[in-house]
Amino acid sequence: MIKGSEFLRLDNLRVHFPVRGGVFKKAIGYCKAVDGVSFSLKKGQTLGLVGESGCGKSTLAKSIVRLLRPTSGKIHFKDYTTDDIERRKDFCKSVQMVFQDPAESLNTRMTVGAIIQEPLDIHGLGNRDERPVRVKELLQKVGLPVSATRRYPFEFSGGQRQRIGIARALAVSPELLVLDEPVSALDVSVQSQVLNLLLDLQNELGLSYLFIAHDLAVVKHVSDIIAVMYLGKIVEIASAEELYSNPLHAYTKALISAIPVPDPSVKRKRIVIPGDVPSPIDPPPGCAFGHRVNAKNYPASLGMPLGLKEVVADHWVLDCPCCIEEG
Amino acid sequence: MTEIDQISPLLEIRDLSVRFKTDEGEVEALDKVSLEIKPCQTVGVVGESGCGKSVTAYSIMRLLPRPMGMISNGRILFQGKNLLDLSTEEMRDIRGNEIGMIFQEPMNALNPVQKIGKQLSEVFSLHQQDDNHQAWLRSIDMLEAVGIPSAENRMHEYPHQLSGGMRQRVVIAMALACKPSLIIADEPTTALDVTVQAQILDLLQNLQKETGCSILLITHDLGVIAETCDQVCVMYAGRVVEKGVAEKVFASPQHAYTQDLLGSIPRLDGHSKARLKTIEGIVPSLFELNEGCRFGPRSCRDHTEEQLSQRPDFKEISSGHWVEACPVCTQT
C-alpha cells in the first residue's frame, strides 16, 4: 500500500487489562481484550468491524479515540502518532465517537443545544454569537428541527437521539468518526434512516468511518473494507464484496451463514458454531477458534505463530492450519 | 383447502382489544387483533417497538400489569376454552403446564440469587407435584435436552455464572419443562449474538420436531421470521396489517407497511452504499391514533380524510393471505 494515502494506521495495537487478586491486589493475569491488531484506513473510506460480543470491538474503538490507553502498539493518524502530546488537541478534534446507546450517552439534564454546543466550547471554536448558529446548522444537517435546541433528550425517540449524538460528534468538523454500534438499539425502519444519514454525511463531508456492529448485513451495506474480529485478533480482512463472496476463514463463513435472510424461499445450511467465545483472560493455546469448534487440525496450530497472510490481493486472513480449507 | 386448513386451531385470538390506563388518559394498545395458531405450527409476529407484539403475548398469558392494563374486548380460545373466563387458579395451572413462555432478556427472567437447579426443579414440583429428588433428576434431563454441557454441575451455579446463550437455554428449559403444547417466545434471541442466535433457533426447531408443540415467535427481525416461521403476522400501531403463509407474505407483500419494512433491511447480497428505502418518521404515539388506515399519515402516500377516519376491512386477498385493505396502502 502507498504510504501517503493512509489516514489511520494501527500498528500491532494491544490493550491488556490487569486482573488483580490476592492481598496486595497484584496483577495475577491479563485480560487480552485487543491483542495485536493492525490495519489501515484511507481517507473517505469506511472500515467495518464485526465480531461477537466480547471479541474486543468496543475496546478497540475506545483505544483509538484514546478513552483507553493502549498497552503497546502505535496508532498513526495522518502524519503523527497519538502518543504525540503536542498534537493531542488536533487529534481530539479530528476523531470523534458516536456511542451505541443514545439514551445513555447524552446528558439527560442538558438541553440538546447545550449538548451539541459543548464540544465547540471545549475546543474554542467560534464566538458566543457564532456557536448557536453552528448548532442550528448541525441540527439541520442531521435532519432535526431547529426548535430542538431548547428541548431535552428524553423528549426524542431513539432514532432522533442517535441523530443528536451524530450532530455532537460532527460539531468540531472531524475527519474520522468512530461509530460503536450506532444502529443496534434502533428499529429496522429507523435503522435505515440513520444508515442513510451516515452515507449522505460521508458523501457530503468526505468523512472516514470506523463502523462497529455485530450485524454483518449492516456492516456490509456501509463498508468498503470489513475486518472480522475474534478474541482480540483480526481473523480476516478484505473488501466488503470480496469478504462476502469469498470468505476464507471458518469463523467468517459461520458468521455469514448465521445471519437470517429475510426470504423464506432461500434455504441454506446454517453453520452452527457450538459454545461461546472463550474468555480472553485465559485464552486456549493455539488457534482460539479451532479450539472452540474442535477442529480436526487443531493440534497443528499449537505452538505456531499465527499471523495474517495475504491470500488474494488485499484479502488477508489469519494463517491457521485448522480454520482455512485448502484448495 | 389443504389438510392444515381443516385442523382446528390450538390457539385462536378473536378481536382482542387491550386498553391501558395512564396518567395522561386511556390508550388502546391492541385494536381488534385476530390471530390463530395450528398445532405444530410456528407463527411469527413482527413489528416495530410499540406496535403491540409483547402486549399480545402477555394477554395470552394473562400477565398484563394490573390494574393499568385491561382486556376490553375479544376472546382468547385455547383448545376451545376461553382463557379470559378462567379463574386465577385455573390460569395458573395453564401457565407453564400448557403454555410456556420464553422471555426476552434471560438475565431478568431468572432469579439472580437462586441456583439454576432450584429454579428449574421448582417448575416440576409446582406443576407436576414431583418430589424433590425426582424434580432434580428431571431438571438435569431437561438441561441436557437443551444442550447444556455438564448439566449436573450447572445445576449448582447461579445465573450470573452462565453466558447469555446458556442463560437463554435455561429459560427455554424452564418453558419446556412440562411439555406445553404452546410456547410463546417473546424476542428470544434479541439480546444474543448472531452465532448464538443461530444456536437457539436451531434448538427451538429441533425441540419442536421432537415434542410437536406450537410456537408463537415474537420478534422485530424479519430474517428470523423468514427462517423459522410457517405463518407470519405483521403488526402496526396495535393492529394486524397483514398476515398469512410466510412464503406468500415475503414473496408478494400486499400492504405498504410490509413492503417498506422489507425494503428497509440492508441485505447481504444487496449493493453496498446504496441508499436504503426508509419509512419516514416514527411509530405514532398511542395517544394520537386515527381510526382509519394507521400507516397512512406516515406512509408518504396521499390518503383522503375518509380513508384516515374509517377503518379499512381486513380482507382475504388470496387463500390464507389476509391484509388490511386500505385502498391506498394496498395498491399494487
Q: Is residue A77 part of a domain?
A: yes
Q: Can you read off the three cell numbers belonging to residue A262?
A: 429475510
Percent of chain A with pLDDT over 70: 98
Q: Is residue A261 part of a domain?
A: yes
pLDDT digits (tens, 9 = 90+) for A200-236: 999 999 999 999 988 888 898 899 999 999 888 899 9
* Cα A127 to Cα A302: distance, rounded to the nearest angstrom: 61
* CA closest to A194 among chain B residues: B278
Number of domains in chain A: 1
d(CA A140, CA B93): 56
Is it the case that residue A6 has pLDDT exceeding 80? no
Q: How far is A241 from chain B (nearest CA, A)?
A: 8
**Within a domain: A208:** yes
Per-residue model confidence as pLDDT tens digits over A227-275: 999 888 899 999 988 998 888 888 888 888 888 888 877 777 777 787 7
Q: Is residue A152 part of a domain?
A: yes
Q: What is the pLDDT of residue A4?
A: 47
User: Cβ contacts (< 8 Å) between B105 and chain A: which residues?
Assistant: none
Domain-embedded: residue B133: no
Nearest residue of A to residue B164 by CA position? A276
B163, B197, B269 ranked by CB distance to A258: nearest? B197
Q: B226 by DSSP, 3-state: which?
A: helix
The model's pTM is 0.85
User: Which range marks the domain in which residue B80 is found?
Assistant: 6-98+180-267+274-324
The bridge status of strand B321-324 relative to strand B314-318 is: antiparallel
* Model confidence band, residue A199 (pLDDT cutoffs 50, 70, 90): very high
Residue at B162 is within a domain: no
Cα-flanking dihedrals φ and ψ of residue B106, to 5°?
-60, -25
- Split into its structural domains, chain B has a count of 1
The CATH number of residue A141's host domain is: 3.40.50.300
Task: Tell me: pLDDT of B105 over 70.
Answer: yes
Contacts of A270 in chain B (CB under 8 A): 198, 201-202, 227
When mean pLDDT is compared over A78-92, B49-63, B187-201, the highest value belongs to B49-63
- Asked if this assembly's ipTM is beyond 0.85, the reply is no
B272 with A221: Cβ contact below 8 A: yes
Q: CA B17, B96, B228 angle in degrees (round to 5)? A: 70
* Confidence bin at A5 (pLDDT 50/70/90): low
Q: Is residue B168 part of a domain?
A: no
On chain A, the residues whose CB falls within 8 A of the CB of B227 are 260-261, 264, 270
Tell me which residue range forms the domain holding A300: 3-318
- Under the banding of pLDDT at 50, 70 and 90, the label for residue B320 is confident
Residue A253 lies in a domain: yes
Size of interface A-B (CB pairs under 8 A): 137
The answer to whether residue B153 is domain-embedded is no
Kindly determine whether residue A217 and residue B48, on different chains, have CB atoms separated by under 8 Å.
Answer: no
Banded pLDDT at B3 (limits 50, 70, 90): low
Determine whether the interchain pair B195/A193 forms a contact, defined as Cβ–Cβ distance below 8 Å.
no
Q: What pLDDT digit, counting tens, does each position of B109-140 carry?
A: 899 999 999 999 988 988 888 889 999 999 99
Mutation for A interface: B168, B187, B195, B228, most A CBs within 10 A: B195
In chain A, the residue whose alpha carbon lies closest to the alpha carbon of B277 is A192
Q: What is the dihedral of CA A223, A229, A233, A236, to 10 degrees?
A: -60
pLDDT in tens, B235-276: 998 889 999 999 889 988 998 899 888 888 888 777 777 888
Nearest to A262 among B166, B199, B226 (CB): B226
Q: Which one of A187, A195, A220 has the shortest CB-CB distance to B49?
A: A187
For residue B332, the model assigns a pLDDT of 58
Q: Is B61 helix (H, G, I), strand (E, B) or coil?
A: coil
Q: What is the pLDDT of residues A117-152, one digit of tens each?
A: 999 999 988 888 999 999 999 999 898 888 889 999
Could you tell me if residue A141 is inside a domain? yes
Contacts of A190 in chain B (CB under 8 A): 48, 282
**For residue A99, is it within any domain?**
yes
CB atoms inside a 10 Å sphere around CB B303:
19
pLDDT interval class at A2 (50, 70, 90): very low
- Amino acid, res. A21: G
d(CA B303, CA A216): 37
